[in-house]
Amino acid sequence: MGFETVIGLEIHAELATESKMFCGCSTDFGGEPNSRTCPVCLGHPGVLPVANREAVASTILLGLALRCAVTPRSVFHRKNYFYPDMPKNFQISQYDVPLTSGGTLSMDMEGYTREVGITRVHLEEDTGKSIHIGESGRIHGADFSLEDFNRAGIPLAEIVTEPDMRSPEEARVFMQLLRATLEYLGISDCKMEEGSLRCDANISVSVDGRPGTKVEIKNMNSFRSLFRALSFEEERQRTELGLGHEVVQETRHWDDAAGVTHPLRSKEEAFDYRYFPEPDLVPIEPDLEWVEELRGRLPELPRARRNRFEAEYGLPGEISAMLTGEKALADYFEEAVASGQDPVALAKWIAGDLVALLNEAVVPIQACPVHPRGLGELVALVAQRIISGKMAKDVLREAFETGKGPERIVREKGLAQIEDEGELEAVVDRVIEENPDAASDMREGKEQALKFLMGRVMKATRGKANPELATSLIRKKLSP
Amino acid sequence: MSADIPYKDALSIAALIREREISALEATEAFLARIEEVEPRVHAYINLAAERARDSAAGIDRMLQKGQALLQHRYAGVPIAIKDVLSTKGFTTTCGSRILENFVPVYDATAVERVSEAGTVMLGKANMDEFAMGSSTENSYFGPTSNPWDLERVPGGSSGGSAAAVAAGEAPWALGSDTGGSIRQPAALCGIVGMKPTYGLVSRYGLVAFASSLDQVGPMTLNVPDCAALLGVIAGHDPRDSTSIQQPPMDYLGSLSSEVRGMKAGVVRELSSEGIEPGVLDSFKRAVEVLEGLGVSCEEVSLPSFSYGLSAYYLIAPAEASSNLARFDGVRYGFRTDAEVDDIWEMYDRTRAEGFGPEVKRRIMLGTYALSAGYYDAYYAQAQKIRTLIVRDYGRAWESYDVLVSPTSPSVAFRLGEKTADPLSMYLSDICTIPVNLAGIPALSLPCGLSEGLPVGFQVMGPPLAEQKLLDIAYALEQALGFDALPPVASAGEVA
Ligand SMILES: [Zn+2]
């Protein structure tokens, strides 16, 4: 049987506007529960929504970045269902006339490019947050629930893709690219862990070209869990199909700890949303001038920047993709390049050791203790052979931990390499004298003896010997 | 002196206070005394704000004494009744429902804010059909209101409390709300003036929504000049209401003119023939003749889509209501069931089952059904098409006529309990008023006579934002008709 996996995503990104979608409340994360609320976002009797122009602008910007068309006249709809985190028991959303639609996002996979169709990008309001107290941890079987409406009414951009992804890896890359896009546009905080970026997926497996049954997966809270959940589900559906079973159309919940998906109770999902046009809001009719002004504000987007990094700086594709995947990382790189050092070397240091240090310390690149200029110093020190590559790793770590510049560290610790041939020759001579057995092995052409002797030289110089110079001296003196 | 104050119109009271003939507190006390006298028979109010009213009247007096009254305090010290569907900060707002029995809002509706800025003094919150759903005020959780013209009869609805308060001298004027006739029909049945302004002219912020695309706040007054004055206070753009019209402020009272010669009026055939009580029709036709006498040419016009108005309305209004009323769920405020429940779904069910009355439940079910998957196109979408047709019919009419006229209500006030068992016959009470809401246009009802001793209402409809024209015609007609009958309750203090 020829299986093909088909994946579409539905993503919600909280927009980083000053105020909420339909009222003046702050959108800041982390206030005391229910401190960022007012009668409007609490759904008090008689209140009315007023649409936030900044949120509309952000959504149009995102639509344009995803090559969508802007709808001349789009409308808000009410999506009706009861849930305690929704103050009005309806969500103001968009239905058949979204703000923007019909775009694409191209992503460079290894060896091929995937064009993912963007069905629509629309605007809606977020719900509050429930904490269910009781054994189940869910609303069913809870003893009671607590509601925090700080998040209720925060603008959400909803991005719906066509079912154009063919593997969990493509879905992950898509999400990363979309997150980068949101970040480049500066319209969302994009924190999956805090819930400001959320993703649901539809996945089916077609057999010999016959479309499979769609299963919706919810509760994937990181790129990793998105990949794991889809991989699990892909495997589960293939197994079912292989056994000749039908795949049931349903919504499944990803349990990250257990690493499995399981069906959600149907009652939580069996809603008829009874969409109808929101009578309290007027249609959004963005005038052409405004749309063009927004188009003019589009920054260089991740894929363009990646291509530029490859062309302009000669970066390898993988490193370029990694750096441009996070705007701040790419910015850091370009600041470091301004130091005049080799861009490839800089990029490798960032993508390798620096990112490892950042991850280890759980520090974002924006708060990196090593200034881009400092990284330039480090690369210069290595290029000028003042320190070895191995020493540079230690210097970087120390710079990261202390905030001191690499030059200063090298100076203070006297770490500069012994470049002086006379000085080094004396050390080599002494080492040969103290290790006659190894010396004679070396003379007999036994190459492993070189490693041993180099180790002795390094020990004697506390690692400061220029390794290439030391090697050539040993070879010269002990040639067979 | 103060015993004469009730039944004085609001503008006269404003003048008396301004001229220091009486104090604001005296005006308020006079109405509170009147309320004490007739309220046991009329029951126009759900909650009285006596102390609050005395405080604010005394405050206004202090201001007047110091000469600090501002230009905006145009009607300083004039008492007012507010329909209990408008949010009043710090004062219980029930919407006539058990589910909000003890609900105290944290903010004022824009209309409330504006009448308060104008210096008026709120006497209390007027009775109404629960969530403004009804035509008789019998659907109030707090019991019905009686018609001051005949205590055995309904005052109309849903703004029946506001209408009865004005008619019984329990307030010189009042605010109501009109979704399908809820200002005009009770105004007609109680013999007062009531106006539904153009949709968007008065902010809906703080008006607890029944049907958002139809609701409008409006004045209920003793006469047309008061109506013009109160409309001038509450009309105007409000950034908190997205459907609010951007319009420069109008001085309806200052511009009021009874010079209407040369205007053209269309008499809507569909609203002034079949299904209208003969007594009402007679009174209406006499008023049309008076209008002609004033130099307004009147001719019959047919607006065929109006026959579908009622059906469209009873799909659109309940559909919106089913969604608007979803927030009353016992989670955050208002009534919550005392019953032991297993889960939140049962809590919702019990709270709403116990908190809403039968008419509200009926409309929530109707609306939920009309919006359901598979029925939307057949009902809601179809109703919207009729709405478009009605707008078009009106649009064509404005090419030939300045205004359209009809009786306001097909009958005079009916008996309490007469229609409660038959919702459809109750719905028919709004047959003449509903098309106006569907089209979003302004309309006004003024008393044009009595039939069997009960008031008959005359409805004038106009194109969007033609409030001034409606007021002018009504003013001219009011003067020509000289309707000045008072309801029996006015002098029936000793009868009860
Ligand atoms: Zn708010």
Q: Give the three-state DSSP class for B56.
A: helix
- Residue range B283-310, pLDDT digits in tens: 999 999 999 999 999 999 999 999 899 9
Of the residues B8, B83, B125, B419, which is catalytic? Answer: B83
Which of A22, A41, A42, A44 to probe by mutation at the B interface, max B CB count within 10 Å? A44
Residue A350: its pLDDT value, please?
97
Q: Can you tell me the distance from the alpha carbon of A38 to that of A149, in angstroms, rounded to the nearest whole number?
A: 10
Between β-strands A250-255 and A215-220, what pairing exists: parallel, antiparallel or unpaired? Answer: parallel
Query: Could you give the ipTM of this predicted complex?
Result: 0.96
Residue B214: its pLDDT value, please?
98
Q: Can you tell me the distance from the alpha carbon of B467 to that of B471, in angstroms, rounded to the nearest whole number?
A: 6
For residues A434 and B47, the model is more confident at: B47
Residue B492: its pLDDT value, please?
54
**Within an 8 Å CB–CB cutoff, is residue A132 touching chain B?**
no
Mean pLDDT of chain B: 95
CB atoms near residue B137 (< 10 Å): 35
Of the residues B87, B136, B140, B158, which is catalytic? Answer: B158
Q: What is the mean pLDDT of residues B57-84?
A: 90
Contacts of A80 in chain B (CB under 8 A): 322-323, 326, 371
Residue B62: its pLDDT value, please?
93
> A352-381 burial, b if ≥16 CB within 10 A, otherwise e?
ebbbebbeeeeeebeebebbbebbbbbbbb
What domains lie within chain B, and their CATH numbers? 2-303+397-491 (3.90.1300.10)
Q: Can you tell me the distance from the alpha carbon of A433 to that of A436, in angstroms, rounded to the nearest whole number?
A: 6
Q: Are B344 and B419 in contact (CB under 8 A)?
A: no
Question: Which member of A82, A274, A279 has the closest CB to residue B329?
Answer: A82
pLDDT at B76 exceeding the cut of 50: yes
Q: Can you tell me the distance from the alpha carbon of A394 to that of A378, in angstroms, rounded to the nearest whole number?
A: 11
**Within an 8 Å CB–CB cutoff, is residue B376 touching chain A?**
yes
B362 Cβ neighbours under 8 A, 6+ residues apart: B423
- Residue range A101-122, pLDDT digits in tens: 999 999 999 899 999 999 999 9
**Within an 8 Å CB–CB cutoff, is residue A82 touching chain B?**
yes
pLDDT at B443 exceeding the cut of 50: yes
* Catalytic-residue membership of B182: yes
Q: Can you tell me the distance from the alpha carbon of B122 to that of B234, in angstroms, rounded to the nearest whole number?
A: 15
The answer to whether the Cβ–Cβ distance between A46 and B209 falls below 8 Å is: yes
Residue found by looking up tokens 């890896």 in the block: A169
The answer to whether the Cβ–Cβ distance between A78 and B323 falls below 8 Å is: yes
Q: Give the three-state DSSP class for B347.
A: helix
Q: What does the pLDDT profile of chain A (480 residues) look like in tens digits?
A: 789 999 999 999 999 999 999 999 999 888 899 999 999 999 999 999 999 999 999 999 999 999 999 999 999 999 999 999 999 999 999 999 999 999 999 999 989 999 999 999 999 999 999 988 887 777 777 788 899 999 999 999 999 999 999 999 999 999 999 999 999 999 998 888 888 899 999 999 999 999 999 999 998 989 999 999 999 999 999 999 999 999 999 999 999 999 999 998 654 456 799 999 999 999 999 999 999 999 999 999 999 999 999 999 999 999 999 999 999 999 999 999 999 999 999 999 999 999 999 999 999 999 999 999 999 999 999 998 888 888 899 999 999 999 999 999 988 887 777 778 888 888 888 989 898 888 888 888 888 888 888 888 888 887 788 888 888 888 888 887
Contacts of B113 in chain A (CB under 8 A): none
* Catalytic-residue membership of B419: no
Q: How far does the centroid of ligand 1 lie from the alpha carbon of residue B165, in Å? A: 36
Residue B181: its pLDDT value, please?
98
Among candidate residues B86, B65, B87, the one with its CA nearest the CA of residue B77? B65
Question: Which member of B109, B242, B326 has the closest CB to residue A88?
Answer: B326
Residue A290: its pLDDT value, please?
97
pLDDT at B2 exceeding the cut of 70: no
Parse chain A into domains and list their residue ranges.
3-293, 308-413, 421-478
Q: Which fold has domain A421-478?
A: Arc Repressor Mutant, subunit A (1.10.10)
Which of A22, A48, A127, A135 to probe by mutation at the B interface, max B CB count within 10 Å? A48
pLDDT at B53 exceeding the cut of 50: yes
Which of B86, B88, B240, B346 to probe by mutation at the A interface, max A CB count within 10 Å? B240
| Cα separation values, A454 from A24, A474, A480, B466, Å | 69, 8, 17, 99
Residue B309: its pLDDT value, please?
94
Q: Can you tell me the distance from the alpha carbon of B44 to that of B163, in angstroms, rounded to the nearest whole number?
A: 8
Nearest CA to CA, how far is B453 from chain A (Å)? 38
How many residue contacts between A and B have a Cβ separation below 8 Å?
A: 103
Question: Which member of B240, B326, B332 has the closest CB to residue A48?
Answer: B240
Residue A462's Cβ-count burial label (10 Å; 0-12, 13-18, 19+) is exposed
Residue A271: its pLDDT value, please?
75
Complete DSSP assignment for A173-188: HHHHHHHHHHHHHT--
If pLDDT is split at 50, 70 and 90, which confidence band does B495 have?
Answer: very low
Q: What is the mean pLDDT of residues B209-213?
A: 98
The answer to whether the Cβ–Cβ distance between B87 and A45 falls below 8 Å is: yes
* Catalytic-residue membership of B258: no
If pLDDT is split at 50, 70 and 90, which confidence band does B496 have?
Answer: very low
**Within an 8 Å CB–CB cutoff, is residue B332 touching chain A?**
yes
Among candidate residues A221, A222, A230, A218, the one with its CA nearest the CA of residue A268? A218
Among candidate residues A207, A213, A200, A205, the one with its CA nearest the CA of residue A261? A200
Complete DSSP assignment for B234-300: HBS--TT-TT--------TTTT-----TT-EEEEEGGGSBTBS-HHHHHHHHHHHHHHHHTT-EEEE
A165 Cβ neighbours under 8 A, 6+ residues apart: A6, A7, A8, A9, A114, A116, A171, A174
Q: Report which DSSP code applies to B397.
A: H
pLDDT at B30 exceeding the cut of 90: yes
**Residue in B closest to A78 by C-alpha:** B323
Structure tokens at B311: 């059906």
Q: Give the range among A215-219, B130-134, B184-188, B352-356 with minimum mean pLDDT.
A: A215-219
Q: Are B371 and B380 in contact (CB under 8 A)?
A: yes
Task: Give contacts of B 350-369 with A, CB under 8 A.
Answer: 368
Q: How far does the centroid of ligand 1 lie from the alpha carbon of residue A152, in Å? A: 8
The answer to whether the Cβ–Cβ distance between B107 and A274 falls below 8 Å is: no
Q: Can you tell me the distance from the alpha carbon of A25 to that of A153, in angstroms, rounded to the nearest whole number?
A: 9
Between β-strands A90-93 and A100-109, what pairing exists: parallel, antiparallel or unpaired? Answer: unpaired
Q: Can you tell me the distance from the alpha carbon of A192 to that of B277, in angstroms, rounded to the nearest whole number?
A: 67
Alpha-carbon Rg of chain A, whole angstroms? Answer: 29
Residue B69: its pLDDT value, please?
66
The answer to whether the Cβ–Cβ distance between B209 and A280 falls below 8 Å is: yes
pTM of the model: 0.90
Q: How far does the centroid of ligand 1 lie from the alpha carbon of residue A35, in Å? A: 10
Task: Give contacts of A 315-344 with B, CB under 8 A.
Answer: none
Nearest CA to CA, how far is B372 from chain A (Å)? 5
Residue type, A134: G
